[in-house]
């Protein structure tokens, strides 16, 4: 019972700090958030903050993503011919996760502040490596879907995720926030992919 109460208090403290960080970022912008301001709002010390989070960004945007196999399988089956789009959608749906106010505000930050998607994705090595592993495993199971003939599936997965990060950043620039929800038109994905293909194609 005592251990259960202790864990409940830990979760409550973490949630209070995350809420403070997200609220400040949502109301004033990501750059306005500091550890000191989060601690003051959550009424905790700086040392307590770093007992829970490795960085300010983690408090604002959440811990490294974990990818639910059922979700990833469903999305990869939907976009088997475009793993860049699939990887980008996997990230967005994984971030969406729990349907609560803090998650909605986190998603809105990506739309409100262009460039945030890339910055957060590249900063989160763990999230990125997990997604690469998901894509590589899918290619191992579906080798006929691989595009590269001169590299292994891990290499193709790594390049796919790098493109997906750029795609997600571009798509978020055209996303709309409606009644607190972030909405992205499917055509936005297609248009961004066409631009990326045009730029990445070698000149004749």
Q: Does the pLDDT value for residue 3 go beyond 80?
A: no
Q: Does the pLDDT value for residue 111 go beyond 90?
A: no
Q: Does the pLDDT value for residue 1 go beyond 60?
A: no
Assign 145 a pLDDT band (cuts: 50, 70, 90).
Answer: very high
Q: Does the pLDDT value for residue 90 go beyond 80?
A: yes
Percent with pLDDT over 90 in the chain = 60
Spatial distance between the Cα atoms of 85 and 97, rounded to a whole number of angstroms: 18
Structural domains in the chain plus CATH codes: 2-61 (1.10.10.60), 69-200 (no CATH)
Contact yes or no for 1/11 (Cβ under 8 A): no
Closest CA to 183 of 124, 96, 118, 122: 96
Q: Look over the chain and give the mean of its residue pLDDT values, rounded to a whole number.
A: 89
Stretch 116-142: mean pLDDT, rounded? Answer: 88
Token couple for 124:
């989160």
Reported residue count of the chain is 204
Q: What is the biggest distance separating any 2 CA atoms in the chain, rounded to whole angstroms?
A: 70
**pLDDT of res. 149:** 93
Token couple for 200:
């990445």
> How many other C-beta atoms are found inside a 10 Å radius of the C-beta of residue 94?
18
Instruction: Measure CA of the first residue to CA of the last residue in the chain; give whole Å.
Output: 70
Spatial distance between the Cα atoms of 194 and 200, rounded to a whole number of angstroms: 10
Minimum mean pLDDT among 11-15, 20-24, 117-121: which range? 117-121
Q: Does the pLDDT value for residue 17 go beyond 80?
A: yes
**pLDDT of res. 108:** 85
Spatial distance between the Cα atoms of 139 and 119, rounded to a whole number of angstroms: 27
Q: What pTM does this model have?
A: 0.83
Stretch 146-168: mean pLDDT, rounded? Answer: 95
**pLDDT of res. 124:** 81
Spatial distance between the Cα atoms of 93 and 185, rounded to a whole number of angstroms: 15
Assign 146 a pLDDT band (cuts: 50, 70, 90).
Answer: very high
Contact yes or no for 23/59 (Cβ under 8 A): no
Spatial distance between the Cα atoms of 101 and 12, rounded to a whole number of angstroms: 16
80: phi then psi, degrees, rounded to nearest 5: -65, -25
- Please write the tens of the pLDDT for every residue from 32-89: 999 999 999 999 999 999 999 999 999 999 888 889 999 999 999 999 999 999 999 9
Closest CA to 192 of 180, 203, 184, 202: 184
Contact yes or no for 78/87 (Cβ under 8 A): no
Contact yes or no for 201/140 (Cβ under 8 A): no
């Amino acid at each position: 019972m005592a251990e259960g109460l202790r864990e409940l208090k830990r979760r409550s403290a973490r949630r209070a700090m995350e809420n403070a960080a997200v609220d400040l970022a949502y109301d004033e912008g990501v750059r306005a958030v500091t550890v000191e301001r989060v601690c003051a709002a959550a009424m905790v010390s700086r040392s307590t903050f770093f007992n829970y989070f490795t960085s300010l960004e983690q408090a604002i945007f959440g811990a490294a993503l974990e990818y639910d196999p059922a979700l990833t399988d469903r999305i990869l089956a939907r976009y088997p011919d475009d793993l860049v789009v699939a990887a980008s959608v996997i990230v967005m749906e994984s971030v969406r996760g729990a349907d609560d106010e803090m998650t909605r505000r986190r998603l809105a930050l990506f739309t409100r502040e262009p460039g945030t998607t890339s910055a957060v994705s590249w900063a989160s090595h763990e999230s990125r490596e997990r997604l690469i592993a998901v894509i590589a495993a899918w290619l191992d199971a579906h080798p006929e879907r691989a595009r590269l003939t001169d590299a292994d599936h891990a290499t193709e997965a790594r390049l796919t995720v790098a493109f997906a990060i750029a795609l997600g950043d571009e798509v978020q620039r055209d996303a709309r926030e409606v009644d607190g929800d972030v909405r992205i038109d499917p055509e936005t994905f297609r248009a961004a992919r066409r631009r990326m293909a045009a730029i990445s194609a070698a000149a004749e």
